[in-house]
Amino acid sequence: MKLTDRINRIQISPTAAVITAADQLKAKGLDIADFGPGEPDFPTPDHIKQAAIEAIHGNKTKYTPTGGIMPLREAISAWHQRELNSNYEAKECVVTVGGKHAIFNVASVLVQAGDEVIIPAPYWVSFPDIVKYTGATPVYVQTSVEDGFAVRADAIEKALTAKTRLLILNSPSNPSGGVTPPDEYQKILAICRKNNVWLMGDECYSHFTYDPNKPFSIASAKDSKDHVIIIGSVSKTFAMTGWRIGYTLGPAPLIQALIKLQSQSTSNPTSIAQYAALAAMTGTMDTVPVMLAEYAKRRKRIVEGLNAIPGVKCGQPGGAFYAFPDVSAHLSGPHALAKDTTELATLLLDKACVALVGGDAFGAPGYLRISYATSLDRIEEGLRRLDRFFSRAEAAA
Ligand SMILES: Cc1ncc(COP(=O)(O)O)c(C=O)c1O
């Protein structure tokens, strides 16, 4: 079939592909230790579900304004100010169909062929493809495990060219869990300002940071507004991945352009989900520390367990809910298990019934992404299977 160049430039999200493959095996009755999904395993809090039920009964089931209902735009701006010390008004906020949609739309209105977009690696799988879809060129900047995968201002500066228009900074990072320290983030903003580059902060994991890291937004920096765009989502913070509500905060003219794009594409995000998100943004946040405490326990166990497996090295992620071990020892030499981590992930699913995503998809050859948004019991089971798989390989070597 003849398709457009722009659709041929991108691939199906590799994380979605892993989830599909794991689901197919589960449907056949296999017990899979599933470290694939990047979503909380906790239910959406009751008061949020209740708000959606009330919205249905109250017939809030019609079109809403394209950019979201005004009370939600106000609530998101107020929540962001309260939680992350920013200073946005409702007119500087647009409600989207999840954070991914927010990123896609911002890229669509800001960059095009001939532009460059800096993406620190390891990166979330969708960043490069969203950029490629617009016709712009992704430019990767490596971060390192030794530095906790923090993004560094000097590395960003080196990657700038006259064509650079946007930098996408995701902290805490999916897949590495890396957190960029606030003072470094400020330096990066100064570089962006000097070079007239937009700084897009993807804050989807803002509230999943482990001690001593704290939730941080670059929008808290003085005079940040003219160069900063904030992307956020209720997906992770409120365990609401399926509801599909995200947002963009930024200068009003940009928000107007985003609303124009939505008016000719998705129209408004689902009305009922918007009322649920309104309850999330205005109600209690007491489930967040409960989830975080549980993730902290799991993080400790999984990092310890991974480091006990032959040929596997794993640092402490500073945030999010992913462990990102280096398994490159198993990918080289005469006893290499696979040619790359994509092949290794397929082997692990087929031979060990463990679902995870190879680092190649995230611009990190030699690494695996393991989501620990699953129970400690399942983590123990997954660790046992990984240990058996890699120990056997080691014994054969
Ligand atoms: C780094 C990052 N940004 C944005 C998103 C988008 O999430 P959603 O579209 O569910 O809001 C995700 C989801 O996995 C993510 O990992």
Q: What is the pLDDT of residues 53-63, one digit of tens each?
A: 999 999 999 99
Which residues neighbour 19 within 8 Å (Cβ) at sequence distance 6 or greater? 36, 37, 355
Mutate to test the pocket of ligand 1, among 19, 39, 233 (most ligand atoms within 8 A of CB): 233
Ligand 1 center–CA 87 separation, angstroms? 23
pLDDT in tens, 292-315: 999 999 999 999 999 999 999 999
Residue carrying structure tokens 């992404």: 369
pLDDT the model gives residue 295: 97
Q: Are 284 and 82 in contact (CB under 8 A)?
A: no
Tokens of 321: 């809910």
Ligand 1 center–CA 4 separation, angstroms? 26
Q: For ligand 1, what atom is nearest to the CA of residue 241?
A: 10
pLDDT the model gives residue 397: 67
| Alpha-carbon span 199 to 143, nearest angstrom | 17
Per-residue pLDDT averaged across 372-382, rounded?
A: 95
Q: For ligand 1, what atom is nearest to the CA of residue 246?
A: 11
Max Cα–Cα distance, the chain, nearest Å: 66
Which residues neighbour 358 within 8 Å (Cβ) at sequence distance 6 or greater? 14, 340, 341, 342, 343, 344, 345, 367, 368, 369
**Per-residue pLDDT band at 14 (split at 50, 70, 90):** confident
| Alpha-carbon span 71 to 101, nearest angstrom | 21
Residues enclosing ligand 1, CB less than 6 A? 38, 98-100, 124, 170, 174, 202, 204, 233, 235, 241, 246
| Alpha-carbon span 188 to 184, nearest angstrom | 6
pTM of the predicted structure, to 2 decimals: 0.95
Q: With 80 as the cut, is the pLDDT of residue 105 above it? A: yes
Mutate to test the pocket of ligand 1, among 235, 266, 321, 371 (most ligand atoms within 8 A of CB): 235
Measured CA distances, 156 to 26, 103, 164 (Å): 43, 20, 11
- 394 phi, psi to nearest 5 deg: -65, -45
Per-residue pLDDT averaged across 179-194, rounded?
A: 97
| Alpha-carbon span 230 to 171, nearest angstrom | 12
Which among 339, 155, 153, 304 has a CA at the least distance from the CA of 139? 155
Start-to-end CA span in the chain (Å)? 46
Per-residue pLDDT averaged across 24-43, rounded?
A: 93
Ligand 1 center–CA 28 separation, angstroms? 29
Which residues neighbour 339 within 8 Å (Cβ) at sequence distance 6 or greater? 331
Ligand 1 center–CA 392 separation, angstroms? 36
Ligand 1 center–CA 1 separation, angstroms? 31
Q: For ligand 1, what atom is nearest to the CA of residue 202?
A: 3
Per-residue pLDDT averaged across 260-278, rounded?
A: 98
Ligand 1 center–CA 284 separation, angstroms? 23
**Burial class for 114, CB neighbours closer than 10 Å (0-12, 13-18, 19+):** exposed
Cis peptide leading into 325, omega within 30 of 0?
no
Q: Helical H runs in the chain?
A: 5-8, 14-27, 46-57, 70-84, 99-110, 126-134, 153-159, 182-195, 252-263, 271-282, 287-307, 341-352, 376-396
